[in-house]
Amino acid sequence: MAQFDYVKKKREEVDEIPAKAVPFVRKVMKFYTRLNVWVFKKSNGRLMNKFPGGAPICLVGMTGRKSGNRREVMLIHLPYGEQKLLVASQGGLDFDPVWYKNIMANPQVDIMADGVQRHYSVKQATPDEKRALWPHLLSLYPDFDEYQARTDRDIPVLICTPV
């Protein structure tokens, strides 16, 4: 079991996602994301612009690693000065989300937040960078702590720098 000393929650304090429920959870996440992207774009960001629970979201565009086609996903908006942060948490499931794999294969994205779209170059935070960024991430979305406690996977944090 992976433990990160900067994560305040402990595994025994968080609810496990039962293995039987994971396929259902993944389908719901995929459907909701597609719906969210469609509604967000059709309403010019006026509708479905918050994550369940109230956190603001952003639209992240990338290139599919296998298809080469444009892919879009809605993620929690995590500003960090001029940069943006992306967290591949997937609710603490034990595998990385597909969008993360796409970005790692082609680390150029565009992010639309607050009505502004910009292009970014992406790099994965080192363990020391992740540790330093963790308090900031929790100040924006405290559930990240629970997600990291839920899984043995070292949840990737990506740093997006404007280009």
Domain ranges of the chain: 11-162
Which segment of 13-17, 85-89, 122-126 scores lowest on mean pLDDT?
13-17
pLDDT band at residue 14, thresholds of 50, 70 and 90? confident
Percent pLDDT > 90 in the chain is 72
Superfamily classification of domain 11-162: Electron Transport, Fmn-binding Protein; Chain A (2.30.110.10)
Reported confidence tier of residue 2, pLDDT bands at 50, 70, 90: low
The CA R_g of the chain, rounded to the nearest whole Å, is: 15
Buried b (16+ CB within 10 A) or exposed e, 57-92: bbbbbbbeeeeeeebbbbbbbbeeeeebbbbbbbeb
Residue 1 has pLDDT above 60, yes or no: no
Q: Over the stretch 150-162, which tens digit does the pLDDT of each residue have? A: 999 999 999 999 9
